[in-house]
Amino acid sequence: MSTDRTERLNGIVAALNDYIEVVRAYDLDETAGLLRMAKLDLQMRIHDISDEELQALCEALERGQAASGAAAGPGGNGTGLAHSHASLVLPATPAADRILLEGTRPPKRCKRM
């Protein structure tokens, strides 16, 4: 990928970060999730990461979470997965459509009227 194109796409990723914070401040979590998916798509293109490579990463993370959840015992969530504040894997119908998103959230803010 050309340097100019990469720089422009990185600028869009930076802008998306700002937009994500804005919509989260307005408690628009679904919109923030969509923007994070767009950000992930751009980052995958910038770094030339294929869907198959992302899928392999998601599966490796799930295996690691399942292993740590089984070892954690009572700390698990009943599904064999431990609670993690580092990442969140959202399953879709086909396994190939799973998306890895950042999972930490700031506390919800009160809405002003």
Dump pLDDT digits (tens) for 90-113.
444 343 344 444 444 445 555 554
pLDDT digits (tens, 9 = 90+) for 6-37: 999 999 999 999 999 999 999 999 999 999 99
Task: Count CB atoms within 10 A of the CB of residue 35.
Answer: 21
What is the per-residue pLDDT for 75? 53
Distance CA 72, CA 83 (A): 10
Give the span between the Cα atoms of 101 and 88, in whole angstroms: 5
Rounded to whole angstroms, the Cα distance separating 4 from 65 reads 38
pTM comes to: 0.56
- At residue 112, the pLDDT reads 52
Cα–Cα distance measured from residue 19 to residue 36, given in angstroms and rounded to the nearest whole number:
10
